[in-house]
Amino acid sequence: MNANFLLIGNIKHSNCYYNCMSFFDKLKEAGKKAGAKLQEEAQKQVDKMKDRREALDMLKTLRKSDLIKFCDEYGVEFTKSMTKNDLIDQINFSSISINTELVTDFFASIKRKIPGQFSKTVVEDVEIEQEITRTETVKTEKVMTKVKKKTETITKLNSHLKNFKPIVGKRSQFKEHNLEVQMVQSLQAAFGLDKVNYQERARGGRVDIVVDDKYAIELKLVTSPTQLTGMIGQVMKYSREYDKVFVWIYDCRSQLKTKDVNEFKKMMKQASVNNLEVLVKR
């Protein structure tokens, strides 16, 4: 019983000690917060006093007639016999809250220019803000111009490839090389000689045609559906190197079915090739 009593007494003593410590910690924390708040309030008062002093200095640059207008507008008692310094003192000891914002508004209302010594900081801030805005606008315009140009080029290229039809003649004599030559000549006429490269070296081998250094075109004269499967690795490598890859398939002997093309597209999508366009011409 005595042992239990001592144990209970120790527990109560520990709880009391813990509660006391917790209380003093909370008191200490409250003291810190109160001190920080007092410091913040003191800083606000200092800033307010500085602003008031600058506002009065701004008023000192005005003529006596302008100061009389100020007193009249803001309800400061005055007599016309007062000097400029008397009017400033009267404004200083008046009940109105004097600050630079109020004085700046008054300058604007009487159409007086704020002296450079007071407006310099404001002007610099405005100029910096305007310069930042101009810079951001220029950057945005450049990005938008690039995006627009890219979109226009892709649209034009896509349309050209869809409408392109090779001259075959005898099918037995028509080779993939003939297809490539005709396509290159057609694209050079549409985009310019310097924009179209033939058999350009790339990581995956040689790309048949590259337009504007960004868009790869791989041509294929299909004689069997299995040829599509053989292109997968090659096209995957091109897709990592160029903005967009066009696979232009000429199925002159009608060897492909719709499901063959769809299966090829599906496999490319599964391989995370999302910048691919497949066009089939028969």
User: Which residues, at least 6 apart from 157, have a Cβ–Cβ distance to it below 8 Å?
Assistant: 191, 211, 215, 246
Say if residue 71 is in the same domain as residue 177: no
Q: Give residue 224's domain range.
A: 150-281
In a domain, 129, yes or no: no
In a domain, 161, yes or no: yes
Tell me which of 48, 82, 109 is where a domain ends.
Answer: 109
Lowest mean pLDDT among 79-88, 136-145, 263-272: 136-145
In a domain, 159, yes or no: yes
Res. 13: pLDDT tops 50: yes
> What's the pLDDT tens digit per position in 108-126?
899 888 887 776 554 455 5
Res. 16: pLDDT tops 60: no
Res. 83: pLDDT tops 50: yes
Task: Indicate the pLDDT class of residue 19, thresholds 50, 70 and 90.
Answer: low
- Of the chain, the percentage scoring pLDDT greater than 90 comes to 40
Say if residue 24 is in the same domain as residue 103: yes
Following DSSP, what letter does each residue of 109-147 receive, concatenated? HTT-PPPHHHHHHHHHHHHHHHHHHHHHHHHHHHHHHHH
Cβ(67)–Cβ(91) below 8 Å: yes
Tell me which of 82, 109, 136 is where a domain ends.
Answer: 109
Say if residue 99 is in the same domain as residue 176: no
Cα separation, 103 vs 51, whole angstroms: 11
Say if residue 157 is in the same domain as residue 269: yes
Say if residue 270 is in the same domain as residue 156: yes
Cα 202 to chain centroid, rounded: 33
Say if residue 19 is in the same domain as residue 80: yes
Q: Is the pTM of this model over 0.75?
A: no
From residue 51, give the alpha-carbon distance in Å to each of 27, 61, 91, 99, 243.
Answer: 36, 16, 15, 6, 57
Q: Average model confidence (pLDDT) for the chain? A: 82
Say if residue 74 is in the same domain as residue 174: no
Cα 117 to chain centroid, rounded: 36
Q: Residue 161: which CATH number?
A: 3.40.50
- Of the chain, the percentage scoring pLDDT greater than 70 comes to 81
Cα 276 to chain centroid, rounded: 27
In a domain, 116, yes or no: no
Res. 134: pLDDT tops 60: yes
> What's the pLDDT tens digit per position in 174-209?
889 999 999 999 999 999 999 999 999 887 788 999
Is 187 or 5 the better-scoring residue by pLDDT?
Answer: 187
Can you give the pLDDT at residue 244? 95
In a domain, 124, yes or no: no
In a domain, 266, yes or no: yes
Say if residue 21 is in the same domain as residue 80: yes
Cα separation, 71 vs 88, whole angstroms: 9
Cα separation, 11 vs 24, whole angstroms: 20
In a domain, 119, yes or no: no
Say if residue 159 is in the same domain as residue 266: yes
Other C-beta atoms closer than 10 Å to the C-beta of 276 total: 20
Tally of CA atoms within 13 A in the half-sphere of 54 that contains its CB = 17
Say if residue 251 is in the same domain as residue 169: yes
Res. 238: pLDDT tops 50: yes
When pLDDT is averaged across residues 22-30 and rounded to a whole number, the result is 61
Can you give the pLDDT at residue 23? 53
Alpha-helical (H) ranges within the chain are: 2-60, 64-74, 84-92, 100-109, 116-163, 176-191, 226-241, 258-270
Tally of CA atoms within 13 A in the half-sphere of 216 that contains its CB = 26
Say if residue 102 is in the same domain as residue 163: no
User: Which residues, at least 6 apart from 70, have a Cβ–Cβ distance to it below 8 Å?
Assistant: 59, 62, 76, 91, 106
Is 141 or 216 the better-scoring residue by pLDDT?
Answer: 216
Say if residue 207 is in the same domain as residue 256: yes
**Coil, helix or strand at residue 246:** strand
